[in-house]
Structure 1
Amino acid sequence: MKKSFLLLLLLVISISSYTQELPFKKVEISDSIALAGQMQHLAKLCDVKNMSELDLFKFQLIRGNYKEALVTFQKRIKKTPINQRQYLDIYLHYVEAKFSKDFKGAFKKSYRKYVKNSDDIQVINLDKALIIRDPTDYYVSNFKNTYQNIKSEKISQSTAKDLVKKYFLSTVFSSTRELYFDEIKQDHKHRYTINDSIVIPMKDGAEVSIVVVKRKVKSSNKKSAILVSSIYAGTNEVSAMLSASKGYIGVIANTRGKRLSKSEIKPLEYEHTDVYEVIDWISKQSWSNQKVAMFGGSYNGFAQWASMKHKVHPALKTIVPMVAIAPGIDYPMENNVLHNYSYSWNFYVTNNKFLDFGASNDFNRWNSLKNKWYKTGVAFNKLDSLDGQVNTLWNRYMAHPSYDDFWKKMIPYKQEFAKIDIPILTITGYYDDSQRGAMYYYNEHFKYAKNPNHYLLVGPYDHWTAQSKPEENLRNYKLDKAALINIEEDLLYQWFDYILKGKTKPSILKDKVNFQVMNTNTWMHKPTLSAMTNDTLQFYLSSDKQGDFYALKTKATNSEVSMSVDFKDRKSMTNTDYYPWPLEREQINVKDGLTFKSETLTEDVIINGSFLGSLELIINKKDVDYSVIVYQLTPDNKYFHLSYYIGRASYAKDREHRNLLTPNQKGQISFNNSKLISKKIEKGSKIVVVVNVNKNNNAQINYGTGKDVNTESIKDAKRPLQITFTGNSCISFPIWNSKMN
């Protein structure tokens, strides 16, 4: 009894200590000495029991206990691979420099030695983590905002700990940024010859700015060039350095108007001629062996395809487009639905000769703008009027809602794919925002070219990790070890060595289609996309309902399921959860849209490919923007986001021509280009499908009048949309059945 009472007393004391409020009186945040004193005092008051070694180190350092901090941190840093220590090494040199009276001098000296002793790849990764993705401004503003938002003179332990950790990051990076920036950049000059003052003329009189990077080694041999064509001026130098470190010449060509070019900046519109001319220029240089390869992600992936629109330059030997956007296909609209995320991107890339990070990171501006647009209900083409700044590119995009000649001139179209006969490696991810762009190129190439030498690699990656190195976790999902391949540093150059130097083909490319099967720790390899599947799992929508869920049936029924959406209502939104983040969650909003659930699967199933849909419906409007989201309801009742489709009904048959629906008459809309995925679905799982209408602040609102959606406004929301789906509506999942193999 006494023992139980004592344990209870200790528990109460522990809880009261944790929840104890600490005194807090603000100082002027610009008074660095007073602020440092306050944070030191606060750190001493915080309970550091049960902290991780890294957090304990932070508190010991802010307390001024540098010897203890160094001992703690040395234990922690030994557990981290060197290629994952870019931030941690800053902490190490910071605490070591604190023992010196000349902090800046000590930090520079030790960091310079550290950088000098690092290999090429390690220094390149330092640049990526600390310069290209410089976190300092975020850490500083994050601390300031947290500090200024505290209104009370007493704060909880949890608030105090959060504040101290944010102060640590703000202090360490703001006091060392200039120092490590300079050391990394100086080290680049020791390793590479960088010519960033080249400007070459185009045939139409425009200019393109070029950067050439060579490794400082004594060699008179001519080399192959690895070209990156990019609008992101100032961010691709490390890619060129990586190429130089791998035994090639690294070349960067920026979109006309960027960097040193005096031309007008027009994203997307001239790559189809300019990149070809850049390749021609490279092939004529004294250091060139007349072999050029290209790689890059997103916009840089698009530029590779654009270069081959009219013809393939003889010197271009291969391309590796990663997460490549396809203008008019998946950017700036997806299945003809224009998203507003591209609105801010236009300012980011055209405000100056390099990049306007201030505009891009002004999240308050962009969030306020889209919220104001949604609440006021003005037409989508008035977005820049609400913003108070003309967005020329945005207006140009809105003038082309279908896939017309404006978009077609940018990349190969139909038969233009037939002449593309070089080896190609396409890389994308199941959760890549540009996956449908990447797959558009892949599918069109195979449609029009005869047996193209074109490989596909796809796995559980997003827009960033599919062009770099996947991390262990993606949006709270732990990746299989088999998926953790170093795409940028290893696979990419294995491919280039294979094509340009005659070395062995990358071992992971065992067939034309190579994909990682999630939850199996294995890859599958097939000759074609269609060979990924040998069976189909098909479900029909039905009106049978249990709780919040309608039933998915294995056969068509005579039932009907209806939903209504009032476009005048701006207090709520629909289809806000279609985007897969996080990948796994405890609950979904079953009140948003029509939610259907299958019976329990009695055996394991591997879903391989893109799910298909054929929806039979009756609607009281001429058009609708709709979505279909697919989840796996796991045996332990968690929702795993598998895939989704979002599109405009009037373009379902043909993205080039709009075919309006007939109100109040039964019709059918079909789609077959949802996000591709491969995942093992364990027996005991259920399939959950959410069918919804898109009405939120992230994209156009299609009011269904049949007019140009960009000109529609809340004035067109005269009566709620009524939509009824019949029991003939089905969703089909391509699967791999090992029993049929």
Structure 2
Amino acid sequence: MKKSVLILYLIAMSLASFGQEIPFKKVELSDSIALANQMQQLALLCNTNNLSELDVFQVEVIRGNYKSALITFKKGIKEIPKDQRPYLDIYRHYAEAKLSTNFKDAFRNSYSKYVNISDDIQVINLDKALILRDPTDYYVSNFNTTYGNINSEKISQATAKDLVKKYFLSTVFSSTRAIYFEEIKQDHKRRYTINDSIVIPMKDGAEVSVVLVQRKGSSTTKKSAILVSSIYTGTNLASAMLAASKGYVGVIANTRGKRLSKSDIKPLEYENTDVYEVIEWISKQSWSNQKVAMFGGSYNGFTQWASLKHKVHPALKTIVPMVAIAPGIDYPMENNVLHNYSYSWNFYVTNNKFLDFEASNDFNRWNTLKNTWYKTGVAYNKLDSLDGQVNKLWNTYMQHPSYDDYWKKMIPYKEEFAKIDIPILTITGYFDDSQRGAMYYYNQHHKYVKNPNHYLLIGPYDHWTAQSKPQESLRNYKLDKSALINIEEDIIYQWFDYILNGKEKPSILKDKVNFQVMDTDTWMHKPSLSAMTNDTLKFHLNATKIDDFYGLKSEANPSKVDMTVDFKDRESMNNTEYYPWPLEKDNINLKDGLIFKSEALKEDVIINGSFTGNLEFSINKKDADYSVIVYQLTPENKYFHLSYYIGRASFAKDREHRNLLIPNKKAKVSFDNSKLISKKIEKGSRIVIVVNVNKNNNAQINYGTGKDVNSESIKDAKIPLKITFTGNSSISLPIWNSVKE
């Protein structure tokens, strides 16, 4: 055996030295023994020079050199991809167990001991990484796909290494998943009392399913409850255990119709009464001290605000809504433009009592659907006909394109905010898809309550990291170290301890508005949103063109810039780069929209807040969906996506009532609802603004006839849209000028 290994090693060195390819003959994936042998031989032929420690470890494991692999592991794996960090202990226990004659027993024993000596938070994070976000199926599929796509009898060293690493992930997780699932779940039972069979009757006869989590061995004194109200059945147990580990009672209440509830599933519609009744139930339990706090993100942020619509329950002491959606405001439409991602979400949450991951992850279905819809040009309200499956919730959305009573009944509306007098901590991110929903609640609360006890925490986070713990990088942008705060485990529970137990307020909340300034490694703290800025950069559109860029001027001017969009043309799209991913790139599509560029900035500035727009234009139709993207063009000629806005001209004045434009007559459209950001803009940078018309496969298409946009189709696209912007059009960027401090 040693001789054959040496021969293979020498062959590998020879092949690597001359850059030659490695012979490769596929076997059946179903033949696990033949596949394992092939991967071992391939690993032996892999040259490990210049590989990271983690890659070397993985190759050595597949070679069967478990002792060498463990030596590599114990020396320290320095550079660890962020998606691999939660799994290092699985890798170590796997390699150690492979040295035993009984792999399964050895792995179970060592992993059980590891879990047993871990603290509550560590095990909760294991649950999140390995059970809640179970990576096994992805890794197995990824290897199988890569293997299946090889159509040559020779492969390069790079391909061989890639295949071995993917096989490592596939085989490690598929051979250990059942064991670590069981060990982690058994450990939960050892630490917590979990009652998952509670069903609470609502006053109207409906049912809400509740899960209760208490830490074993804790004191018998009455406790405060931390409530998560969620439609995402089966995904919130870790949050409830975290609450219990922090000395509270964790409570999960699922949307009526979910889990054990026999009621019909109706997302969004009944949280405004059901959550209040759940709080009432909690306050009457023998273990309750009549103090309830809520937290949660996205839908689970919306439910907190919904609970406050009619009145604030006396037991509810605080809410911490993170990245909260606001139905009718930013979901399923934003600024009255309906986006199609909500189409698949409806099946995800309503197909069964839990969640339909298979439907949600059927990306081929959803991509095919949106591409077919775009190519054929059928009406948006026929989307489920193309899909071949009735989407009841989607069809309901179709009937409510404005912010009407259907949406208003879900969350506080206008003066209903005036009675909300509890402390609130709103958390969102600059790149959170639901930022404008979160800020809608924040702004409305401040509009109807003078100086409310309402704090804002916002930084360079997206919809996911603003609910948990940010990683070092987001969409290829490296975060400042000061931005790397643990939101769920630290900030939120420091807030709960402050409100419920009279402890110190979280140190990061030095004022009412707390925001991380990108590229300065600092936080700023202000008493209000308006205090974030003390100056403005105002740019007027200008027709003077140099190369691909129109100009931006400080003053209004008589120039005009024309744009034509042919809605019949389905070979191209408009506004395809509005979404900020990646955040920084070398180039943008200079043929997509009207591109304007400023002169170089003469000094550093900090953009603080939401950019605003006042557009003056005329069109040959009655309506248009328009967009504005703002970039920083760095001195190194990199484009950084700062913010964007998409809106419908006919709803610019009032989201509740449509006001059609008069064709070929100048119209003035203003907006102030763009994504908020705080970032240092270096001297020498330029501001690039892209003004566009929305026409792509990600959202409904407004053909401009004045009819219900959902019913318009390519039949309404006979005449191209012609739009002329005047030099009175301006975009204003709020900035913080340190000179004016």
CA separation of 1:18 and 1:677: change in aligned 2, threshold 3 A: farther
Cross-structure match for 1:307: 307
Aligned equivalents of 2:504, 2:18: Cα separation in 1: 59
Q: Give the counterpart letter for 2:613 in structure 1.
A: G
Shift of 1:43: 1.6
Q: What do residues 711-738 of structure 1 show as CA deviations (whole Å, max 9, x unaligned)?
A: 1111111011111111111000111111
Shift of 1:20: 2.6
Cross-structure match for 2:150: 150
Q: What do residues 602-633 of structure 1 show as CA deviations (whole Å, max 9, x unaligned)?
A: 00111100000011101111111111000000
The answer on whether the counterparts of 1:83 and 1:122 sit within 8 Å (CA) in structure 2 is no
Q: What do residues 356-394 of structure 1 show as CA deviations (whole Å, max 9, x unaligned)?
A: 111111111111111111111111111111111101001
Q: SS state of the match for residue 418, structure 1? A: helix
Unaligned runs of 5+ in 2: 1-12
Cross-structure match for 1:590: 590
The answer on whether the counterparts of 2:16 and 2:157 sit within 8 Å (CA) in structure 1 is no
Aligned equivalents of 1:82, 1:555: Cα separation in 2: 47
Q: Give the counterpart letter for 2:158 in structure 1.
A: S
Q: Give the counterpart letter for 2:445 in structure 1.
A: H
RMSD: 1.5
Shift of 1:69: 1.0
Q: SS state of the match for residue 659, structure 1? A: coil
Shift of 1:159: 1.9
- The answer to whether the aligner puts 1:379 opposite 2:367 as a matched pair is no
Aligned equivalents of 1:495, 1:519: Cα separation in 2: 27
Q: Percent identity?
A: 81
Q: SS state of the match for residue 143, structure 1? A: helix
Q: Give the counterpart letter for 1:722 in structure 2.
A: K
Cross-structure match for 2:437: 437
Cross-structure match for 1:124: 124
Q: What do residues 73-124 of structure 1 show as CA deviations (whole Å, max 9, x unaligned)?
A: 2223488799984211110001001001111110000000000000000000
Greater CA drift, 214-223 or 131-140: 214-223
Cross-structure match for 1:459: 459
Cross-structure match for 1:209: 209
Aligned equivalents of 1:156, 1:724: Cα separation in 2: 55
Shift of 1:580: 0.3
The answer on whether the counterparts of 1:650 and 1:658 sit within 8 Å (CA) in structure 2 is yes
Unaligned runs of 5+ in 1: 1-12
Shift of 1:502: 0.4
Shift of 1:477: 0.7
The answer on whether the counterparts of 1:18 and 1:47 sit within 8 Å (CA) in structure 2 is no
Cross-structure match for 1:346: 346
Shift of 1:688: 0.4
Cross-structure match for 1:580: 580
Cross-structure match for 2:99: 99
Cross-structure match for 2:186: 186
Aligned equivalents of 1:717, 1:21: Cα separation in 2: 54
The correspondence of residues 523-562 of structure 1 with structure 2, limited to 5 A, is 523-562=523-562
Shift of 1:704: 0.8
Q: SS state of the match for residue 348, structure 1? A: helix
Shift of 1:167: 1.1
Aligned equivalents of 2:369, 2:82: Cα separation in 1: 43
Aligned equivalents of 1:681, 1:15: Cα separation in 2: 50
CA separation of 1:368 and 1:76: change in aligned 2, threshold 3 A: farther
Q: Give the counterpart letter for 1:353 in structure 2.
A: K
The answer on whether the counterparts of 2:15 and 2:22 sit within 8 Å (CA) in structure 1 is no
Cross-structure match for 1:508: 508
CA separation of 1:455 and 1:707: change in aligned 2, threshold 3 A: same
Shift of 1:149: 1.6
- The answer to whether the aligner puts 1:165 opposite 2:147 as a matched pair is no
The correspondence of residues 667-678 of structure 1 with structure 2, limited to 5 A, is 667-678=667-678
Aligned equivalents of 2:111, 2:648: Cα separation in 1: 55
The correspondence of residues 225-304 of structure 1 with structure 2, limited to 5 A, is 225-304=225-304
Q: What do residues 290-319 of structure 1 show as CA deviations (whole Å, max 9, x unaligned)?
A: 000000000000000000000000000000
The correspondence of residues 321-470 of structure 1 with structure 2, limited to 5 A, is 321-470=321-470
The answer on whether the counterparts of 1:540 and 1:727 sit within 8 Å (CA) in structure 2 is yes
Q: Give the counterpart letter for 1:213 in structure 2.
A: V
Aligned equivalents of 1:81, 1:651: Cα separation in 2: 45
The answer on whether the counterparts of 2:54 and 2:80 sit within 8 Å (CA) in structure 1 is no
Q: Give the counterpart letter for 2:682 in structure 1.
A: E
- The answer to whether the aligner puts 1:319 opposite 2:319 as a matched pair is yes
Aligned equivalents of 2:606, 2:278: Cα separation in 1: 45
Q: Give the counterpart letter for 1:477 in structure 2.
A: Y
The answer on whether the counterparts of 1:77 and 1:88 sit within 8 Å (CA) in structure 2 is no
Cross-structure match for 1:36: 36
Q: What do residues 575-597 of structure 1 show as CA deviations (whole Å, max 9, x unaligned)?
A: 11100001100111111101110
TM-score (norm 1): 0.97
Cross-structure match for 1:3: none
The answer on whether the counterparts of 1:18 and 1:157 sit within 8 Å (CA) in structure 2 is no
TM-score (norm 2): 0.97
Cross-structure match for 2:6: none
The answer on whether the counterparts of 2:335 and 2:651 sit within 8 Å (CA) in structure 1 is yes
Cross-structure match for 1:619: 619
Aligned equivalents of 1:217, 1:34: Cα separation in 2: 51
The answer on whether the counterparts of 1:83 and 1:125 sit within 8 Å (CA) in structure 2 is no
Shift of 1:450: 2.5
The answer on whether the counterparts of 1:612 and 1:733 sit within 8 Å (CA) in structure 2 is yes
CA separation of 1:85 and 1:113: change in aligned 2, threshold 3 A: farther
Aligned equivalents of 2:292, 2:649: Cα separation in 1: 43
Shift of 1:217: 1.4
Shift of 1:46: 2.0
Aligned equivalents of 2:670, 2:15: Cα separation in 1: 58
Shift of 1:184: 0.4
Cross-structure match for 1:701: 701
Aligned equivalents of 2:403, 2:591: Cα separation in 1: 34
CA separation of 1:736 and 1:60: change in aligned 2, threshold 3 A: same
